[in-house]
Amino acid sequence: MGNEPGIGEVMITEEQIRVRVNEIAKQISEDYAGEEVVFVGILRGSVVFLSDLIRRVSIDSKIDFMVVSSYGESTKTSGVVKINKDLESSIEDLNVIVVEDIIDTGVTLHYLMDYLKCKKPKSLKVCTFLDKPSRRTADIEADYTGFEVEDKFIVGYGLDFNQKYRNLPYITCLAEA
C-alpha cells in the first residue's frame, strides 16, 4: 500500500513469547495464591497478551476492559489521555492488574493508575508485555514485564501501526524508511 512502511526482522519469536508468558502467569499465580484478581485489559493492544496470560494463571480471575486514547494515527504520543470506555464492573476492594501491551512514555498508564486508585481497589498492579524504558517521561514502572525493547516502533502480538500487524504471532518493528 503506497508509502506505508513494511516490517523488519523478527525481534521476539513465538516460542520466546510463549515461555515468557508462562513465567509471568506462574509468578502472578504465586503472588496472588488464594486470592481473586481482576485483569483490566487496555484495548486494543493488550488483547492478544491478555488472552494468553489469563489461560495460564491458576488463580480465580475476572476480566474487564478500558479504552483509552493518547495516540493519533501516528507513532507519536500526544500526552493527552482520554477515557473512551470505562470499566463495566466495580473494582472496589478487589485485586486489580492492569494489562498493557507496551509502556512507552508512560503517560497513558500514569494517568490511568491515578484514575483507578480513586476507585479504591484492594490492590493495583501493572503487567505489561513490553517496556520501552528509553522513552519514559512519566514516573511509572510495571510490576510484571514481558520484555524490554529498544526505541523502535514495535508491531505484532496485538501491537499495531494504524491498526495493521496486530495479528502477527511474533514481535517485530517497522522497517527503517
Residue numbers at the binding site for ligand IMP (CB under 6 A) = 45, 70-71, 77, 100-109, 153-155, 159
CB of 142 to Mg ion, least distance (A): 13
Question: 103 near 134, Cβ under 8 Å?
Answer: no
The least distance separating ligand IMP from the CB of residue 158, rounded to whole angstroms, comes to 9
Q: From residue 5, give the alpha-carbon distance in Å to each of 71, 162, 164, 174.
A: 18, 11, 11, 6
d(CA 146, CA 143): 10
Is the CB of residue 10 less than 8 Å from the CB of residue 170? yes
Whose Cβ is closer to ligand IMP: residue 50's or residue 154's?
154
User: Which residue among the candidates 104, 131, 151, 160 is catalytic per the annotation?
Assistant: 104
Q: Among ligand IMP, Mg ion, none, what binds residue 154 when CB lies within 5 to 8 Å by partner kind?
A: ligand IMP
**How far is it, in rounded angstroms, from Cα 97 to Cα 126?**
5
Q: Please, which residue, 95 or 108, has the CB nearer to ligand IMP?
A: 108
Distance CA 20, CA 130 (A): 11
121 binds Mg ion (CB under 5 A): no
Per the DSSP assignment, residues forming a β-bridge with 155 are 172
Measured in whole angstroms, how far is the alpha carbon of residue 127 from the centre of its chain?
A: 7
- Residue 45 binding Mg ion, by CB under 5 A: yes
Nearer to ligand IMP, 24 or 32 (CB): 24
Q: Is 101 a catalytic residue?
A: no
Report the catalytic residues: 104
The residues of the shown chain that bind Mg ion, judged by CB under 5 A, are 42, 45, 101
